[in-house]
Structure 1
Amino acid sequence: MTSNQTVQEANRDQFRFADGEDELIFADEGVGSEEEGDALGKDVWKVIIVDDEQEIHRVTKLVLSDFEFAGKTLAFHSAYTAADAKKLFMEHPDAALVLLDVVMEEEDSGLKLVRFIREELKNQTIRVILRTGQPGQAPEKTIIMDYDINDYKEKTELTSQKLFTTVVSSLRTFRDMKVIEKNKNGLEEIIKSSATIFELQSMRKFARGVLTQLTSIINLNKNALHCSLAVTKEDSEIYILAATGDYSSKEYDRVSDVVPITILKEIEDAFREKRSKFFDSHFVYYFQSKTGSENVIYLSGRKALNEWDRYLIEIYCANVSVAFENIYLNEEVEHTQKEIIFTMGEITETRSKETGYHVKRVAEYSKLLALKYGLSEEEAEIIRLASPLHDVGKVGIPDSILNKPGKLTDDEFDTMKNHAGLGYSMLKHSNTRLLNAAATIAFQHHEKFNGKGYPNGLKGDDIHIYGRITAIADVFDALGSERVYKKAWELDRIIELLRSERGEHFDPVLVDLFLGSMDEVLAIRNKYPDQKVF
């Protein structure tokens, strides 16, 4: 195994995201009509067929009539002209797949529609399968290079089996892209919420903001939402601070006078047992401040809560629990933000449920190396607090790649490399010095001193010192930790790798400083041994 492969392997950290198994099911009978799934309110994959030949629509629907993938059937939408197709794309921005003819009213009608989808609608998720009966007018090599499409087929190629395979592949990619988008949006909601929630100085406004942001974080829309409550306990009575849904007009009423007995019992149990509980489609989150005040957030919806929703709720509510007591104690805000950052960093680690203090150790190694390099105590502390988010972009990488026990293929590794850019895009919008540093680290910790890293191939001092420091700390700890795809390396072997990559992967000055501080490094490793985080 080469040094590059070893470092590549060492930087593959795991994260488990709740996701259904791929399923392909063909029913014995029954043909789904156009838009049938939508009309019945079913969870479906929307497929748009754009072709001026009516027979193409009929045959395509017939071949795919009994198709089911990941528990969802297909809902077809047909357009026979480019003008009608544009309307469909605007009406169905959540469409998963379009089967698109090239030649319709004009010889390049389909190609113009591709430009419309990608450039005007800014829709990068829909999978575009170009189909043509006249390949001579649209040469495959030219089309693939010049247009943002996902597959190109001659109509004579599309037998029932090949059409089936093409659709499966496209839907699988679309699903993975939506998972990435959901994870990214959830973390962005937490970051934005954490930055603004402390501005709400009124307890009522604060409680309302908490409920609004929670429903946004876990994607509960107004139709899906049943109710949410923020309640507080005073002198053995429980009062409503804020509410949405059925109880939005009941602020400061006694809970016992308003809510059904089943909800009241769950809230009372939370106060009595002093702990939070998660159920299939609702949760009761309990927290107590240092001053002794007790609060509960109750939220229910028709959407079932998955593992990812619970992680987001726990992270956000961890912030809220401190914020309730710190509305007038601003000196606690910095501590809360630090805890959130470490928790967010640990999300990527705990996805595999096999690791413990990786982000904590990386943080401490990074601060130690920053001080050895000569940075100030203040700047070294910034690196310590920001480095736990170095791999936060991996929440957008599919489980099949993150948890693969063997070597990644070239395509899989290309997907893995996207986590640097994803992490940067999540963090770059903040105005705080801490999250700006975290954005830089997320973006640059896989750059190499010799210019052969990613995502931008930066070289030498063009890589920010934060990225150069975190790169050494991350690789050293990853190699020394057991993962699902590898055993932990012995210390001598890790040191040998660092030396061999001196001036190649790593800044040579930092390598010398790190290896010269091995007693302090090992003291940190011994202080934070791996254990279960959740």
Structure 2
Amino acid sequence: MSEANEDRNEELIFAEEDHEAESRSAMPPWEVLIVDDDQFVHQVTTLVLKDFTFQGRELDFISAYSGREAMRILEERDDVALVLLDVVMEEADSGLKVARWIREDHNDHFVRIILRTGQPGQAPENEVITRYDINDYKEKTELTTQKLFSAVTTALRSYADLQSIERNRKGLEMVIRSTADLFRHKSLSHFASGVLTQLVSVLGQTSDSLMVRASGLAASRREGALRVIASTGRFAGLEGHEVSDHDCPDGFDVIEDALRRQESIFRDRTYVGYFRTVRGSENIIYLCGDHDFGEMDRDLIRLFASNIGVAFDNLDLNDEISETQRELLFTLGEVVESRSRETANHVRRVAEYSALLGRFSGMDVESVELLRQAAPMHDLGKIGIPDDILLKPEKLTDEEFETIKEHAAIGHQILKGSERALTKEAARIALTHHEKWDGSGYPQGLSGTEIPLSGRIAAVADVFDALACKRVYKDPWDTESILDFIRGQSGKHFDPDLVDLLFDNLDEFLEIKRQYPE
């Protein structure tokens, strides 16, 4: 899923693709494997059970005429619910070998096995049931139509119960695993994507539905409008658009109902989850299945939703902490810049330029955000430079310039003591943003990739902006002169790859300059 804006007051909406005729097709039949070397037995069994149904599902018959053929079929298929198994076929104990193979070698303990024999003395009932994990034992002479109906019904009910238990177990495992994955997400767009993926996975473990082909979208409320922040399937590419711009005939009335009632709703094959965080944001998950949700589906959705609610709270609190931290860093950066009579928007532009270069250079989303928050600290060390040097309008003496150069080490000294990732990144940038690609920079004389990428990025961003700004010692440069200078310093002052990225995406950098004017 693609990324979108992260807002504090969000609404998540997920919608599944509406498969018209296909989604409303009949339930799949129960697969029954008849294993017998007598063609007549196959014909009679099929004839007797042709009108049989259980839980609304008919029977589908598969024929095997030997033990070897039965094992081959079972190796190829994993949907057989019941095996009607003859004992004596190509060998006197072929059926018993097949039963042992199913349980031990094939490791299938779900398929039900009804052993049918015309020679009961060949395989005594008590011994067979004890040794071979047989579910029922019938002599062919006693298998009347009614008894065959009863035996098949009992076997399929047992199979369905075992499958239900197994689906529930797998579903719970998926809930636990999915919850752990969700709590790793720190942004709304990634969280939205994770919720959709993991919820579909959970339901994919619990039914024969087509949930794995779901389409969905996530949206955030801003000034009354729901805007898509993440999408998949038939909703792909709608990021940034209002939800109402896209046709979703099954969903919006029940979503409005959930918002009005402030509670989650199950309605036929639709689920709308309502979540209100401790900070007051309202969040919605909309899910439309291919058939009515069964009770097990609903239980798993409720369990998963309870964890989603906690994750929403954590995401909200993380956002609040991040925003507070970001504001403090910008404020501190602005104080430093104001002291040197530079505009507060300089640090904002440097932050945005740096984030842009970080994204274009291949950084992941979290690293880009870390860079955006750390970059405003690049000149923090100026706080330790005397005013008579920092604010001097004339050219600095060599001694004064050496004093100015100390601000890189001072900033690093202030920030280096923290173990927090953000502060460590800010310390790295403060120390290295005056290093040069050719090794002629300060304070350490690093060159090339010895300079951390964040320091190389901050160097380009800082100079690109500083040259355009009026300072006590210079007038602002025009854009063409700035670009000529940066192009000329490629491979000298600046990382040439970053210079290329700047020129390849110049319009976006100039747009940031327009957004945050002097």
1: distance between equivalents of 2:256 and 2:299?
24
Q: Give ranges in structure 1 of 5+ residues lacking alignment.
A: 1-39, 333-534
2: distance between equivalents of 1:196 and 1:42?
33
The residue number in structure 1 matching 2:266 is 278
Shift of 1:226: 4.8
2: distance between equivalents of 1:188 and 1:121?
24
Shift of 1:41: 5.8
The amino acid that maps onto 1:230 is A
Shift of 1:299: 0.9
Q: Is the counterpart of residue 79 in structure 1 residue 67 in structure 2?
A: no
What is the CA deviation profile of residues 393-426 of structure 1, one whole-angstrom value per residue up to 9, with x for unaligned ones? Answer: xxxxxxxxxxxxxxxxxxxxxxxxxxxxxxxxxx
Q: Is the counterpart of residue 56 in structure 1 residue 44 in structure 2?
A: no
The amino acid that maps onto 2:151 is T
The residue number in structure 2 matching 1:230 is 218
2: distance between equivalents of 1:330 and 1:116?
55
Shift of 1:102: 1.4
Identity %: 48
The amino acid that maps onto 1:56 is V
1: distance between equivalents of 2:265 and 2:211?
24
2: distance between equivalents of 1:266 and 1:42?
27
The residue number in structure 2 matching 1:250 is 238
Note the 1:296-375 alignment, pairs <5 A: 296-327=284-315, 329=317
SS in 1 for 2:80: coil
The amino acid that maps onto 2:31 is K
Contact 2:85 2:114 in 1 (8 A): yes
Structure 1 residues 305 and 126, CA gap change in structure 2 (3 angstroms): same
SS in 2 for 1:298: strand
2: distance between equivalents of 1:235 and 1:308?
38
Shift of 1:225: 4.6
Query: What's the TM-score once normalised by structure 2's chain length?
Result: 0.52
Shift of 1:52: 0.7
SS in 1 for 2:31: strand
Q: Give ranges in structure 2 of 5+ residues lacking alignment.
A: 1-24, 321-518
**What is the aligned counterpart of 2:280 among 275, 292, 309?**
292
SS in 2 for 1:57: helix
SS in 2 for 1:66: coil
The amino acid that maps onto 2:42 is H
Structure 1 residues 209 and 223, CA gap change in structure 2 (3 angstroms): closer
SS in 2 for 1:275: coil
If you compute each CA radius of gyration, which structure gives the higher value, 1 or 2?
A: 2
2: distance between equivalents of 1:42 and 1:273?
34
The residue number in structure 1 matching 2:153 is 168
1: distance between equivalents of 2:270 and 2:222?
24
Note the 1:253-264 alignment, pairs <5 A: 253-260=241-248, 262-264=250-252
Shift of 1:125: 1.1
The residue number in structure 2 matching 1:438 is none
1: distance between equivalents of 2:304 and 2:116?
46
Contact 2:186 2:318 in 1 (8 A): no
Shift of 1:217: 2.3
Note the 1:34-53 alignment, pairs <5 A: 42-53=27-38
Structure 1 residues 283 and 62, CA gap change in structure 2 (3 angstroms): same
Contact 2:27 2:56 in 1 (8 A): no
- More displaced 10-residue stretch of structure 1: 225-234 or 109-118: 225-234
Structure 1 residues 248 and 83, CA gap change in structure 2 (3 angstroms): farther
SS in 1 for 2:58: strand
1: distance between equivalents of 2:239 and 2:297?
27
Structure 1 residues 270 and 152, CA gap change in structure 2 (3 angstroms): closer
Structure 1 residues 119 and 230, CA gap change in structure 2 (3 angstroms): farther
Aligned positions, number: 293
Contact 1:230 1:295 in 2 (8 A): no
Shift of 1:120: 2.6
The amino acid that maps onto 1:281 is R
2: distance between equivalents of 1:255 and 1:316?
25
The residue number in structure 2 matching 1:128 is 113
1: distance between equivalents of 2:195 and 2:226?
18
**What is the aligned counterpart of 1:88 among 73, 81, 87?**
73
Shift of 1:282: 1.1
Q: Is the counterpart of residue 189 in structure 1 residue 177 in structure 2?
A: no
1: distance between equivalents of 2:146 and 2:210?
42
